[in-house]
């Protein structure tokens, strides 16, 4: 089982849930959560341990978000195609994705991880510059990663290799 498939299980993404997650409301409300998480963690300066309340709420939000919204009437948009590309990528052991995507996705995953580590260090040390740099790096790598997922979706759909 791929790491992405394990992550999908955590978020309860299966057949119908993947389609619900293609709803633009699901995609963009989840995607924009990071600044709120940063603010919640940073709020420990002002509210101490009470910062765990908004952090917990945001973690729950991230977990349940993909299943909250209805399946959209159309998946003809960038966000939905990115989600469906992620689904293909998560299922690549069952439905092989063309190999030329592997290296760029690995690089983008490493960049997201580096951005996340820098972000965590910035939050831990309350260093605004590290926090901003980590956020920007993580977000930019994630957007590029999602764009790659759109490419995967379109390529798999065009070649009608498999439908998942």
- For the stretch 39-54, pLDDT in tens is 999 999 999 999 999 9
Q: 4-8, 22-26, 137-141, 156-160: lowest mean pLDDT where?
A: 4-8
Q: What is the per-residue pLDDT for 158?
A: 82
CA distance 105 to 100: 9
pLDDT, the chain, mean? 89
pLDDT digits 0-9 by tens, 25-79: 989 999 999 999 999 999 999 999 999 999 999 999 998 898 889 988 999 999 9
93 three-class SS = coil
| 163 domain residue, yes or no | no
pLDDT digits 0-9 by tens, 115-135: 999 999 999 999 999 999 999
For the chain, what percentages of helix, strand and coil (3-state, to nearest 5) are there?
80, 0, 20
CA distance 81 to 3: 20
Q: What is the per-residue pLDDT for 104?
A: 96
Sign of torsion over alpha carbons 154, 155, 160, 163? negative
Asked whether the predicted pLDDT for residue 162 surpasses 60, the reply is no
Is residue 97 within 8 A of residue 152, CB to CB? The reply is yes
- Domain containing 144 equals 3-158
| 164 domain residue, yes or no | no
Q: 16-20, 127-131, 142-146: lowest mean pLDDT where?
A: 16-20
Tell me the whole-structure pTM to 2 decimals: 0.84
* Domains in the chain, number: 1
Is residue 71 within 8 A of residue 16, CB to CB? The reply is yes
Residue 162 DSSP symbol: -
């Amino acid at each position: 089982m791929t790491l992405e498939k394990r992550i999908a299980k955590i978020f309860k993404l299966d057949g119908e849930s993947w389609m619900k997650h293609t709803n633009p409301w699901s995609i963009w409300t989840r995607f924009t959560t990071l600044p709120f998480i940063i603010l919640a963690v940073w709020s420990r300066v002002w509210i101490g341990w009470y910062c765990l309340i908004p952090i917990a709420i945001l973690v729950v939000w991230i977990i349940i978000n993909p299943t909250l919204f209805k399946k959209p009437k159309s998946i003809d948009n960038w966000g939905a195609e990115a989600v469906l590309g992620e689904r293909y990528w998560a299922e690549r052991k069952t439905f092989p994705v063309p190999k030329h995507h592997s290296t760029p996705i690995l690089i983008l995953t490493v960049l997201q991880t580096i951005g996340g580590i820098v972000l965590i260090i910035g939050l831990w040390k309350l260093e605004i510059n590290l926090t901003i740099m980590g956020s920007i790096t993580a977000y930019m790598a994630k957007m590029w990663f999602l764009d790659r997922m759109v490419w995967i979706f379109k390529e798999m759909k065009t070649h009608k290799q498999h439908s998942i």
